[in-house]
Structure 1
Amino acid sequence: MRGVVAIALGGPEVLQVTDLPDPEAGLGQVVVRIRAVCVHPADIAATTGQIPGGPVAPPFSPGWDIAGEVASAGPGASDLRVGDRVVGMIPWYSTRGTPGGYAEFVAADTDWLVRLPDGLDFVSAATVPLNAQTAHQGLSLLPPAVDGRSILVTGAGGGVGGFATQLAARSGYHVLAQAGHGDEQWVRDLGAHEVVSRTVDLSTVGPVPALFDAVPLGEAAAVAVEDGGVVVATRPTPAIAAARGVRQELQLIRHDRDLLADLVGQVAAGQLRTRVAETMPLTDAADAHRRVLAGGLRGKLVLTVD
């Protein structure tokens, strides 16, 4: 089979299309014929060696979120059958590229996968697992949304920030959503009550009791948090606002199959929205990383396999 591996640590140029052994399903596993795999900033962080736990020694395959069909099933994989449409998240924080999703086939633990509901296409589904679970779990670290409590979400036009905006609004928060030019209507449609321009000095916003820093911006966003408030960031940031009693939390993804099934179901039912900026063939993975690094995408970039 064909796959994409990082042959060294570095920029997009280290990604190489190569022939890999066909995977076999082990105990409690299925082999998934990949139809779509989402390109995340986490993939770029892996290839540059800037990930929690330290860099992974090449060669390795990037890729967290996959969607496709079950091609074969190993012993103990009783809840998934050949031909099932599935979507899931490879817990790259533990597999560290063995496997990764940038391949035509992946041997995956059944716990990583859920059935893909009818009506939800592979490409859209592949944008859900990492981003939606991160948003849901990060919001659980914040104070409950009582009495219309305000929350500021940075990067609300992005994958994690978009899901955080929707989930926060539905749970009862008064959502202030930071968005770039051209994304204002999108985040309003996600449920944001107020839209804050990306060019605004956030010290003039709020103060708010809660911040979901999906970019993250660190201290530049924490200035909007009231004394004794809470900040949740999606990547490690320097200590912020400790003198004001601001609590700082780091949200690192924990795969939860039941949660994933619920979130995917909500997307399939139209209760949660996601968006795709562009699709590219798996073999163009290096160019896809260049597109993400260049910025300006509205939605996720997804690699497809015919």
Structure 2
Amino acid sequence: MLGVIAAALGGPEVLQVTELPDPEARPGQAVVRIRAVCVHPADVAATTGQIPRGPVPPPFLPGWDIAGEVTSVGPDTADLRVGDRVVGMIPWYLTRGTPGGYAEFVAADAGWLVPLPDEVDFATAATVPLNAQTAHQGLELLSSGVLPDGSSVLVTGASGGVGGFATQLAVQAGYRVLAQASAGDEEWVRGLGVQEVITRSADLGKVGPVAAVFDAVPLGEAAAAAVKNRGVVVATRPTPAIDPARGVRQDLQLIRLDRKLLAELVGLVAAGRLRTRVATTMPLTEAADAHRRVLAGGLRGKVVLTSG
């Protein structure tokens, strides 16, 4: 099979298309013919070595979120059959590229995969697992403690993957959502049901104060300026400590794979209750160019690599 490996640490140029052995399903696994794999900033960070727990020694396969069809199943693999449409998240924080999703096939643990409804195409499905789970889990972290229904919540990066899902889930949870949109993307964010759209150039210190901030970008100090004293800020990457005198609870959201939650979120997408966007699809063999697109920024939606 073809795969795309990071042959060294560095920019997009380190990604190389190469022939790899076809995977075989071990007990509790299924081999998935990958039709779509999402390109995340986390993939770019992996190739440059800027990830938690330190760099992964090359060569390795990037890629978290996959969608495709089951081609074989190993012994003791329940609930999966050849031909099933599936979507899943490779827990890259554990596998660290062995395996990764930038390949034509992957041997995936059954616990990584959930059924993919016919209403959702492969490319759209591949945008869901990492971003939607991060958003849902971050909101749970945000609301733990005292955050009554109707509380004001600011979401930064609402035009993006995590921020877009977080915005929609916060609205559905009954919060009064203020969402920061990228320039030119205000209308799409407004369509997510928010109370107010904040421009990217706005001084967040003049917004609110709000009860809580979901800092999906993250912006760090700029976002913390919007939260009231004794409020809460949840960020998707480490940010500077907030002045302890303010009494703000500051938490870090790190993804954890939750198969039941993933199935629920995919179901919401299939039912039209969660929106997601694909900016462009590109062949798997053009992964280096896909990374360049992500690094260039300005995308409205995710870049998805396709195969077959």
Structure 2 residue 34 is the aligned partner of structure 1 residue 34: yes
Does the 8 A contact of 2:204 with 2:226 survive in 1? Answer: yes
Q: What is the number of equivalent residue pairs in this alignment? A: 306
Deviations 1:187-244 (A, max 9, x none): 1111111000000011111111100000000001100011111000011112123231
* 1:291 alignment partner, one of 281, 290, 293: 293
Structure 2's unaligned 5+ residue stretches are none
Q: Which runs of 5+ in 1 are unaligned?
A: none
Q: Aligned match of 2:191 in 189, 192, 214? A: 189
The corresponding residue for 1:180 is 182
Work out whether 1:69 is the aligned partner of 2:69. yes
**RMSD in angstroms over aligned alpha carbons?**
0.8
Residues 145 and 173 in structure 1, CA contact (< 8 A), matched pair in contact too: no
Q: Distance in 2 between matches of 1:52 and 1:27?
A: 30
Please report how far the alpha carbon of residue 146 of structure 1 lies from its aligned counterpart in structure 2 after TM superposition.
2.2
Q: What residue in structure 2 maps to residue 54 of structure 1? A: 54
Query: Is 1:160 aligned to 2:167, yes or no?
Result: no
CA distance in 2, matches of 1:228, 1:78: 47
Give the corresponding residue for 2:135: 135
Structure 2 counterpart SS, 1:303: strand
Match of 1:246 among 245, 248, 270: 248
Q: Aligned-pair distance for 1:145? A: 5.0
Residue 21, structure 1, aligned to residue 21, structure 2: yes
**Which amino acid is the alignment partner of residue 237 of structure 2?**
R
CA contact (8 A) 2:149 2:173 kept: no
Structure 2: distance between partners of 1:113 and 1:4: 22
Supply the AA of the counterpart residue of 2:37.
Answer: V
| Percent identity (aligned) | 78
2:212 aligns with 210
Aligned residue identity for 1:256: D
- Residues in 1 aligned to 2:224 and 2:69: alpha-carbon distance in whole angstroms: 43
Equivalent residue of 1:16, what SS?
strand
Match of 1:282 in 2: 284
Contact 1:136-1:164 at 8 Å conserved across structures: yes
Q: Secondary structure at the match of 1:69?
A: strand
CA distance in 1 between partners of 2:140 and 2:230 (Å): 17
Partners of 1:81 and 1:141 in 2: CA distance: 36
Given the two structures, how large is their TM-score scaled by the length of structure 1? 0.99
The answer to whether the aligner puts 1:84 opposite 2:70 as a matched pair is no
Amino acid at match of 2:170: A
**Residue pair 1:222, 1:241 contacting (<8 A) in 2 also:** no
- 2:111 maps to which residue? 111
CA distance in 2, matches of 1:27, 1:241: 51
What CA distance in whole angstroms lies between the structure 2 residues aligned with 1:37 and 1:82? Answer: 20
Map of 2:265 onto structure 1:
263
Q: Which amino acid aligns with 1:9?
A: L
Aligned residue for 1:120, secondary structure, equals coil
How far is the alpha carbon of 1:147 from its aligned partner?
4.4
Q: When the two structures are superposed, what TM-score results if normalisation uses the length of structure 2?
A: 0.98
Instruction: Give the 3-state SS of the residue equivalent to 1:142 in structure 2.
Output: helix
CA contact (8 A) 1:145 1:172 kept: no
Q: 1:141 aligns to what SS in structure 2?
A: helix
In the aligned structure 1, how far is the partner of 2:270 from the partner of 2:194? 21
Q: Aligned partner of 1:285: which letter?
A: A
Maintained 8 Å contact 1:145/1:171: no
SS at match of 1:100: coil
Contact kept in structure 1, 2:147 and 2:211, CA below 8 Å: no
Map of 1:233 onto structure 2: 235
Matched AA of 1:80: L
